[in-house]
Structure 1
Amino acid sequence: MTSSHAYMDDFARFITASPSSYHAAAEVARRLDAAGFTRRDETEQWPATPGRHYIVRDGAVIAWAQPAAAGPTTPFRILGAHTDSPGFKLKPKPTLASQGWLQAGVEVYGGPLQNSWLDRELELAGRLVTRDGAEHLVRTGPFLRIPQLAVHLDREVNTAGLTLDRQRHLNPVFGVGDSSQADLVGHLAGLAGLEGADVAGYDILTADTAAPATFGRDSTLFAAGRLDNLTSVHAGLLALIAAPEDTGQISVLAAFDHEELGSQSRSGASGPLLDDILTRLGAALGADVSDRLRAYAGSWCLSADAGHAVHPNYPERHDPANTPIAGGGPLLKINANQRYATDAVGAALWARACEQADVPYQEFVSNNTVPCGSTIGPLTATRLGIRTVDVGVALLSMHSAREMCHVNDPVLLSAAIGAFYAGA
């Protein structure tokens, strides 16, 4: 898939199919199945079977391609990304009523750019779990909206600024009436072919329903929800599917959940998920503790997450010497305080991969007065001791309900990941 626009058309379909981390994991699994990967059950014994396999844990996916010659000390090439995005999550007892309006009770998930979620048609999406433990994916399509206060009722909003109270101002409306006339959980259950009484638990989040779109001069710009971090999940997935079969290492895609919350969960990068899978793969190959540590010592992880392009209206918020531009290629993300895990050795690996793939890349470092966020990179390096380098696609409006990038950058990222998998 060499055409940027063909790539982005496929990416748009991926985004549309992935309104929640649980849907994203299911879409990754569907595409892996179509590409001939075999799903493994974590409760079963795994034989040392070469080939292509994957597991799903909640909203996370680990997939791997194991060459026939793999042994106890075969190293890993890991692409790490995350399936979740900032937004709002449905609370318990979520059906509210106020002043004749029906509203959904929501809790802020991660660090969304809150004002960007106003006056948009949103959907609810995620999983319902019945009393027998079965999971059911559900999505509503356009269903609710967080209405902003009219300028006539807040004459200073354009000069004094907009202040949103997270408890009072962010509950979306979805109808009129009183709470006895509506049941959000019952509505979601009905969409999944269930009765409301069958639902014992749920993980339901909001998502913007506007379709992904290319726009601008020569249609070179792309806007959609959840670019952070479905850009990396999709790029890594396509690269893994296309990876050569016998490269001297085991190629791995690790798409974690809960990165936007700090990754501290059973399916997050701070949890045991990746270590569990790598340990089991090594054990199936006959690895003892020493063999496992030798394999890790020869391994690499690319932590692929979104980064910032220089904002033309706020250039003072960026480093004056390192100024990534949209369309200039993926980022090499660097931070002296190890908020990103890149070091000089990792920078050299990334340079080799990009050179092999004929991909330009750009260095990103934060302005000293603007602390940067972090990624799964330092977490993976700390937990496993695997050498890690942080990379990603440059965005504007990160953590907005609708982010944007250049159409060339995701496909260039995927090509560079492909070279990484090939052993650059």
Structure 2
Amino acid sequence: PYHSVAACAGLLRAGGFTELADGAQWKLARGGKYFVSKGGSEIMAFIVGGRFCQPGVESGLSIVGAHTDSPCLRLRPNSKVSGAGMLQVGIQTYGGGLWHTWFDRPLGLAGKVVVREAAPGRPDETRLAEKLVRITDPLMILPNLAIHLQSAEERKAFAVNPETHLQPVLCSKMFDDEAGKEASRPEDAGDARHHAALLEVVAKRLGCAPGDIMDADLCLMDSMPACLAGLYEEFISSPRIDNLLSTWAAVQGLCDFAASSAVADCQDVCIAVSFDHEECGSQSTCGADSNSMSVWLESLLGALEVPPLARPLVYAKSFLLSADCAHGVHPNYAAKHQSEHRPDFHKGIVIKTNANQRYATTALTSALFREVCKKADVPVQDFVVRNDSPCGTTIGPIVSSKLGIRTIDIGAPQWAMHSCRETCASSDARHLRALCGAFFESFRNIDTAAAKM
């Protein structure tokens, strides 16, 4: 999630957005563009409409929400593992992944590292500093077991034990001994929780000594870059489409809107927000179930001098697009979809509905969304899970219940959700970006004109 937030911040800075400090008292102006982040894994960007909360003007918060995390394999605090003459890396499973898809892929490494470095201007003192590292080299591999060494039952089940089968190979002990990596480090070294060879690669990339690495939150990743696929290059094949596609569309759509003349006449605060830890329940300081967004919104309204007694009306007029990828119908498994709700590639954005509130969509939010899509010339589809299948969930019900704002769950269709590598249609990425920009521009007029109960 750290690199996705850093990429979003880069897009926003390039678009003229001003970075705000989390926890500080903000100074905001109508027509201004701002963003704030927390922990390096959660980010919120917003544009204050030129007419927000002016006398006689109906105003709210127009929000597109997503998440920055994806299921992956993460290094353990003590990752130094070995077996059968091989140096391996101990991992934890994060989220609910299709773990069998991680086998036989060259794997890289990315995340956040805490290092000890010299304090600026004080050469005799040190400080702790957080740094990002991303190594796309194929450092590791998770080999499959040969078919000849499995029973018929094992081949049929292909059951992965996440504790014993998911420890990737870094190198052979023979090659590591020849390189002298472990031998050069004392047994009681503070960095002995990880293989010296691995730490050396990370330290070299960071420009520090291995002993300066104090701790890390590192994720394994497919080292093969994203690409266009299919005869006509109509598909995007990439890791982490769920849900970085939605995060990108929300931020890019906000940047598109920021560049238009519509900002001056906008009556809302238009917001793109992306949370961490959605894949494991959202209960964290940077998750959708924390109070970080509530605090940010109160800071925003306070800085714009919206009186406390007027704020409930702002929330009542607000609307959240909870954007998270949807299950596109699979040509080999079409029966897994409810027969009247099979989202196709290239046919637009999907409205996700669940009677048991696993999705936050209602009849009114669905109707308002369809009007926005009509304005944007973006096609719409519907998804309902089969009654005999489990249903996933999103940040939608969480944020909607915490803030009390109207919400709809939507997303672009994709294949192989939670695989190491996923697929979506390039046209639907375009649809999602166009939708987000149109939502920020047109929602307020559509909502004001609607006759609601």
TM-score calculated relative to the size of structure 1: 0.92
Distance 1:332 1:28 in 2: 25
Deviation at 1:326, TM superposition (A): 1.0
Counterpart code for 2:102: W
Whether 1:191 and 2:205 are equivalent positions in the alignment is yes
CA contact (8 A) 1:71 1:286 kept: no
1:403 aligns to 2:422 (yes or no): yes
In structure 1, the partner of 2:133 is 138
Are 1:221 and 2:235 counterparts?
Answer: yes
Amino acid at match of 2:348: G
- The Cα RMSD (Å) is 1.7
Secondary structure of the 1:94 match is: strand
The 1-side partners of 2:23 and 2:215 are apart by 23
Secondary structure in 2 matching 1:210: coil
CA distance in 2, matches of 1:159, 1:200: 42
SS at match of 1:42: coil
Q: Does 1:37 align with 2:17?
A: yes
1:284 to 284, 290, 303: 303
Could you report, residue by residue, the CA deviation over 1:296-336 in whole angstroms, capped at 9, with x for unpaired residues? 11000100001101112222211011111111111001000
1:417 offset after TM fit, Å? Answer: 1.4
Contact 1:330 1:410 (C-alpha < 8 Å) held by counterparts: no
* Candidates 367, 371, 396, aligned match of 1:348: 367
Cα drift, residue 155 of structure 1:
4.7
2:86 aligned partner: 101
Where 1:281 maps in the other structure, the secondary structure is: helix
What letter is aligned with 1:44?
A
Pick from 302, 307, 316: which aligns with 2:335?
316
The residue identity in structure 2 corresponding to 1:197 is G
46, 65, 74: which is aligned to 2:47? 65
Aligned to 2:349: 330
Q: Give the whole-Å Cα distance in 2 for the aligned partners of 1:161 and 1:47.
A: 59
Given the superposition, is the C-alpha separation of residues 45 and 399 from structure 1 closer, same or farther in structure 2, using an over 3 Å criterion?
A: same
In the alignment, is the contact (CA less than 8 A) between 1:151 and 1:157 conserved in 2? no
1:16-415 → structure 2 map (5 Å cutoff) = 21-50=1-30, 51-58=32-39, 59-71=41-53, 74-131=59-116, 132-141=127-136, 142-156=138-152, 159-177=155-173, 180=182, 182-183=195-196, 184-243=198-257, 244-246=262-264, 247-415=266-434
Larger of the two Rg values belongs to structure = 2
> CA–CA distance in 2 between the matches of 1:186 and 1:210?
22
Q: Could you tell me how far 1:410 is from its partner in structure 2?
A: 1.1
Flag the 1:197–1:43 CA change in 2: closer, same or farther, 3 A: farther
Q: Separation in 1 of the partners of 2:357 and 2:203?
A: 44
* Cα distance in 1, alignment partners of residues 234 and 109 from structure 2: 30
Unaligned runs of 5+ in 2: 117-126, 184-194, 444-453
Q: Deviations over 1:142-180 (max 9, x none)?
A: 211111111121152685221111111001111111793
Q: Which moved more, 1:172-181 or 1:206-215?
A: 172-181
User: Percent identical across equivalent pairs?
Assistant: 37
C-alpha spacing 1:193/1:306, structure 2 compared with 1 (3 Å): same
Per-residue CA deviations over 1:251-294 (Å, capped at 9, x if unaligned) read 00101111111111111111112111111000112234322211
Structure-1 separation of matches of 2:391 and 2:326: 10
How many residue pairs end up in the alignment? 404
CA distance in 2, matches of 1:423, 1:288: 26
Alignment deviations for residues 311-370 of structure 1 (CA, whole Å, 9 cap, x no partner)? 122222110111111111110010000100000111011101110001111001101111
Q: Does the CA contact (< 8 Å) of 1:75 and 1:298 recur in 2?
A: yes
Deviation at 1:186, TM superposition (A): 4.4
* Equivalent residues of 1:335, 1:342 under 8 A apart: yes
**CA distance, structure 2, for counterparts of residue 200 and residue 272 of structure 1:** 29
Q: 2:432 & 2:23 partners in 1: Cα distance?
A: 34
State the AA in 2 paired with 1:35: G
1:312/1:110 Cα in 2 relative to 1: closer, same or farther (>3 Å)? same
Q: Distance in 1 between matches of 2:270 and 2:50?
A: 13
Q: Distance in 1 between matches of 2:276 and 2:208?
A: 26
Per the TM alignment, residue 190 of structure 1 is displaced from its structure 2 partner at its CA by 2.9
Comparing 40-49 with 357-366, greater Cα deviation is found at 40-49
Deviates more, 1:130-139 or 1:302-311: 130-139
Instruction: Report the secondary structure of 2:361's partner residue.
Output: coil
Aligned partners of 1:287, 1:113: CA distance in 2, in Å? 47
CA distance in 2 between partners of 1:126 and 1:372 (Å):
30
Compute the displacement of 1:241 (Å).
Answer: 0.4
Deviation at 1:130, TM superposition (A): 2.8
| CA distance in structure 1 between the aligned counterparts of 2:48 and 2:204, rounded to whole angstroms | 42
Tell me which amino acid in the other structure corresponds to 2:376: A
Measure the CA separation in 2 of the matches of 1:198 and 1:44: 31
d(CA) in 2 for partners of 1:420, 1:70: 16
Task: Provide the residue aligned with 1:9 in structure 2.
Answer: none
SS of 1:323's equivalent? coil
User: In the alignment, is the contact (CA less than 8 A) between 2:76 and 2:92 conserved in 1?
Assistant: yes
- Separation in structure 1 between the aligned mates of residue 325 and residue 216 of structure 2, nearest angstrom: 28
